[in-house]
Amino acid sequence: MTIIEVIVAAAVFAIAALFVMHSLGKSTVLDAHTWETHTAILAAQSKLEEITAAGYANAASYGVSPKNSFAVSGLAPQATGLQPGSVEVSKITTASSAIYDVTVRIQWTGAQGNRGEVLKTMVAEKP
């Protein structure tokens, strides 16, 4: 093996090593991104289940303080003093029924900057 072959082999190995290191770095950021999104969606689902279980008669109370905001373990709020989780409840009245439109938002600052997830449901009176 000549010195030229050794230099070329070392260069090829160095380039391959750089690509592997870059991929590992990207996968770490993607892993954090996935964990944050999963945590936010689970928190929003949990809050929607809580509101649904409380029933129609109590759904409106989740739209006012202190029930309209909540902490999400593991996620940093976007602004100091704010909670990552928030609830909005609005009443939709039709000729035959009344329904609460419930929106749960999770907003946080994560590995890739400010992020958010929104889940919605409706809570109706039982006939």
Element (DSSP H or E) covering residue 40: helix 3-54
Cross-strand pairs, 109: 76, 114
Residue pair 120/89 in contact (Cβ under 8 Å)? The answer is: no
Work out the pLDDT band at 23, boundaries 50, 70, 90: confident
Cross-strand pairs, 102: 89, 121
What single-letter amino acid sits at 55?
Answer: G
- Split into its structural domains, the chain has a count of 1
Per-residue model confidence as pLDDT tens digits over 90-125? 999 887 788 999 999 999 998 888 999 999 999 988
CA distances from 25 to 22, 31, 69, 72 (A): 5, 10, 34, 26
Q: Containing domain of residue 37, as a range?
A: 3-124
Q: What percent of the chain has pLDDT over 70?
A: 98
